[in-house]
Amino acid sequence: MFPNNNSSHSQPTKFNLVQVKGTWIRQTEQCRLAEGKLSDAKIYENKSEHGVSWTVVSPIVFTYRVIQCKNILDPRNDTLLWGHLGDEELKGTISNSKPVKRFVVIDETVNHLYGSQVIRYFQAREVAYKILPLPTTEENKCMELVTKILEEVHEFGIDRRSEPIIAIGGGVCLDVVGLAASLYRRRTPYIRVPTTLLSYVDASVGAKTGVNFAGGKNKLGSYVPPVATFLDRSFLQTLPPRQISNGMAEMLKMALMKHRSLFELLEAEGGKLLHTRLQSCESNNSSEHEDSSTASTRIAIETMLEELAPNLWEDDLDRLVDFGHLISPELEMRVLPALLHGEAVNIDMSFMVYVAHQRGLVTADEKDRIIRCMLGLELPVWHQECTLALVQKSLKERLKHSAGSLRMPLPTGLGHAEIFHDMIEENILCQAYQKWTDELASSGNK
């Protein structure tokens, strides 16, 4: 129901919008003047003694694809060029005689490893291309990097509807390119090709873009999803083990929040997954058998999409995916570059598991199993810079920016969670912190 702010005023008049021969016409449901294309948008008109007001309600619908594939840089594979298009769109595009152009932003490290393959791909497909390698690190995640991309895109020249910008790299690269694309001519389509495990299961499948600003993590950004994300696990082969652990923290987050079977898989096989870099064994690649590498990444992505898709713009601040993200932003920025994002998230999750235990939400056995699983994934579970003062400050900041409610996701068992709105009692917070420090400070972690 449309709200009426003044009960003394008449109810607003609702107008539908109909397009007839290229012209949009507003009409009430009772008085249809013409038949034509009906918009989902509505206009509400309210007349009062002070004048007239109009309220526009216009839903925005985004459609984007998340595609798992193999050998994305093989010139015989169409995915990188056309995977973002539906069948009908593809027919129209291929029948067009216009030369194909692509602008690619690639992380510098990834460029050293895969840049020559990207070049060979576009040359084999006779694509006019520009490849821009950039140092996309957390320390460099700023508006200057966005401006650099925009200048290069402008000089190269692209059609903002039919020539998507391609981002190849980790989460920072995907975030920065996404923000640049959302700004260029008000919105240009872009494609994400994640090359780290963390970006594979987290940054690549949502709508957020952003850069750091004024000492805060992702203080500037937008909610504009890519037209497509292409997931190729073979990129993970060249990652150092620490980067694999870093991404497994986000997989563990989803397991703890909503998927006990994924937790048990990480608990039992996490070490093997880590050391094989989540590569599938060729002998286990039959369609009837899903190996642990494929299953764990699939479940992580499916559970992430379940939580993100209904709430892409974060209109609802009750978000299970915020587990591990209450304290970690402050910790990560304070010690940068000592901790990777997933490592900071895991330290946050580790502490919050102790809070959950102190509140009687998880048993001592469940707490211990979770910590053992984290250590098995070679993730840090404690950090000397994560002081009680930092925890208290982070929670107060969270409260300030969460519409008067803390909104804290906490595990209520293995694979189950709830969002708690009340501020943690000071004695529980202090007791949890003391036990966390007493039990884990000597664990040999950072």
Catalytic residue among 21, 37, 42, 208: 208
In degrees rounded to 5, what are phi and psi of residue 231?
-105, 115
What's the token pair of residue 301? 């992505």
Q: Write down how long the chain is.
A: 446
Please state, in angstroms and rounded to a whole number, the distance separating the CA atoms of residues 381 and 374.
Answer: 7
Task: Tell how far CA 267 is from the center of its chain.
Answer: 24
Site of tokens 């206009």: 43
Give the containing element (helix H, strand E) for 216: strand 216-223
In degrees rounded to 5, what are phi and psi of residue 134?
-140, 150
217 among known catalytic residues: no
Query: What Cα–Cα distance (Å) separates residue 115 from each residue in 81, 109, 121, 132?
Result: 16, 9, 10, 10
Please state, in angstroms and rounded to a whole number, the distance separating the CA atoms of residues 66 and 207.
Answer: 12
Q: Is the dihedral of CA 411, 278, 66, 191 positive or negative?
A: positive
What's the token pair of residue 282? 């060729």
Q: Which residues are catalytic, by number? A: 208
